[in-house]
Amino acid sequence: MFWDHAIETLDRASLRQLQLKRLQATVRRVARKVSFYREQFSQARLRPSHIGALADVRRLPFTTSADLRANYPTGLLAVGLEDTLRLHTSSGTTGKPKALFFSRQDVANAAELCARCLVMTGVTRRDVFQNMMTYGLFTGALVTHYGAEKVGCLVIPAGPGNSERQLLLMQDFRTTVFHITPSYALYFADFLEKRGINARRELALRKAFVGAEPHTEETRGKIEQALGIEVYNSYGLSEMNGPGVAFECEHKQGMHVWEDNFLVEIIDPQTGEPLPDGEMGELVMTTLRREAMPLLRYRTRDITSVNPEPCACGRTHRRLNRITGRSDDMLIVRGVNIYPQQIERVLMGTPGIGRNYVIQLEGLDEMIIKVELAEAGFDGQVEHLVRLQTKIAERLRAEILVKPQVELVPPATLPVSEGKAKRVIDNRKL
């Protein structure tokens, strides 16, 4: 099913032509309207007329999250404040938030892209969409909310948390699809299990859209298994509208990124040099249609690769492979580079393990992994626990080359956050 068949299946040559036209228009606009870019262009002796082909995007400067913070709150606006309609912010780990403005056209366009995403997974106006993302300054809930309304779903603006109420809404309004972070989805599956609810039999759930934080194929499998639903990976970032940037189709083999709206590059995060399709690197995106706040070559810090193969669904927009982490969330433990996703893959693929974990770094490079046992995982025999603990430590050593201390804790005892999960606690005194 397609929301906009013509644009979603546009042949590659025409799509690239459209990208070039929009890139040139964007560069011309920021050169006129945004002093930050004007100065960057003049330092690089670059004129908009130098962008004659898509490959010339490499001549443009990168934009980083530090640039967004430095120009907070309105420094990167390309329209007058009277032409903005909505503000979202995104807080990183430190300092000032990033302010993201939307014009009327940007708001409509973001909803349009979300509508494409939802319809791509088979959502129709008959669906009941329970939005379990946080409403507010975070883009996660509002942007998809309007996308789902555009499709014609009944939208329930539930927000996250209060699982009892979520369940009640699902029961009373026969929710069919929901939008949720992977960490809350795992927690919610646990909650249903504890309440003795069999989601397959008692609820009408069919699909979930899971995003806003990195998660593994194993986590997807666990959520699908527990709830008897299809789970689709949903990717986005506030700087590029929020959700709806890239989304899986029914084949669930990578996320189509809407290339009529975003120009995608993969670069080597160390050198900044572009990498060919298929190679893992940092995702860099240029907005092609944003009116209020266009961004050139924005360094997302997300690590992924592009799959250029044609997709069985017929869409011509290339796919991003699952995000494996962020270039800035790499941990260095005893000199070894480790991504938290590697640890998650091992934990979620081990039977007997529950759905929540934290990675704690202590003292002089000690790594402690606290992980919940599955609800039905402990039969009272201590030697079984010890065996499980040893198995996890061995599997982790094989994956990350460092042997952590593994602590098994009872189900539902680790902290849960309503927004993005905090998986790493670094208390090292190095």
82 to 101, contacts with ligand DLL by CB under 6 A? Answer: 90
Q: In the complex, what is the shortest distance from the CB of residue 24 to ligand DLL, in angstroms, rounded to a whole number?
A: 27
Question: Which one of 101, 232, 235, 357 is in contact with ligand DLL (CB under 6 A)?
Answer: 235
Could you say whether residue 233 binds ligand DLL (CB under 6 A)? yes
Compare residues 79 and 237 and give the one whose CB is closer to ligand DLL: 237
Could you say whether residue 130 binds ligand DLL (CB under 6 A)? no
Instruction: Report CA-CA distances (Å) from 118 to 30, 115, 224.
Output: 32, 5, 18
Q: How many helices (H) and strands (E) does the chain have?
A: 12, 21
Cα angle at 227 between 124 and 412, to 5 degrees? 130
Could you say whether residue 300 binds ligand DLL (CB under 6 A)? yes
Compare residues 78 and 421 and give the one whose CB is closer to ligand DLL: 421
Q: Nearest-CB residue to ligand DLL?
A: 211
Question: In whole angstroms, what is the distance from residue 145 CA to residue 82 CA?
Answer: 24
The region of 78-86, 224-232, 238-246, 384-392 touching ligand DLL under the rule CB under 6 A is 238-246
48 to 77, contacts with ligand DLL by CB under 6 A? Answer: none
For residues 64 and 70, the answer to whether their CB atoms sit within 8 Å is no
Kindly write out the interface string for residues 301-340 of this chain, putting x where it contacts ligand DLL by CB under 6 A and - elsewhere.
-x--------------------x--x--------------
Closest Cα to residue 406, out of 383, 386, 427, 384? Answer: 386
The region of 115-123, 194-202, 227-235, 347-355 touching ligand DLL under the rule CB under 6 A is 227-235
| Residue count, binding to ligand DLL (CB under 6 A) | 20
Question: Which one of 234, 261, 286, 356 is in contact with ligand DLL (CB under 6 A)?
Answer: 234
Compare residues 111 and 133 and give the one whose CB is closer to ligand DLL: 133
Compare residues 24 and 181 and give the one whose CB is closer to ligand DLL: 181
Question: Which one of 140, 340, 354, 404 is in contact with ligand DLL (CB under 6 A)?
Answer: 140
Could you say whether residue 131 binds ligand DLL (CB under 6 A)? no
Question: Which one of 51, 237, 338, 358 is in contact with ligand DLL (CB under 6 A)?
Answer: 237
The region of 208-216, 358-366, 391-399, 409-417 touching ligand DLL under the rule CB under 6 A is 208-216
Cα angle at 297 between 324 and 78, to 5 degrees? 130
Instruction: Report CA-CA distances (Å) from 327 to 47, 225, 269.
Output: 31, 30, 7
Q: In what order do the strands lie in the sheet with 405-409?
A: 405-409, 366-373, 353-362, 424-426
For residues 147 and 241, the answer to whether their CB atoms sit within 8 Å is no
Closest Cα to residue 306, out of 329, 338, 330, 274? Answer: 274
Question: In whole angstroms, what is the distance from residue 282 CA to residue 275 CA?
Answer: 9
Could you say whether residue 118 binds ligand DLL (CB under 6 A)? no
The region of 32-40, 123-131, 210-218, 311-319 touching ligand DLL under the rule CB under 6 A is 210-218
DSSP assignment of 349-389, as one string? Answer: TSTTEEEEEEEEEETTTEEEEEEEEPTT---S-HHHHHHHH
Would you state the structure tokens that stand for residue 141, as one six-digit string?
């809930």
Compare residues 9 and 307 and give the one whose CB is closer to ligand DLL: 307
For residues 85 and 142, the answer to whether their CB atoms sit within 8 Å is no
Compare residues 214 and 354 and give the one whose CB is closer to ligand DLL: 214
Residues forming contacts to ligand DLL in the complex (CB under 6 A) are 90, 133, 139-140, 211-214, 233-238, 242-243, 300, 302, 323, 326
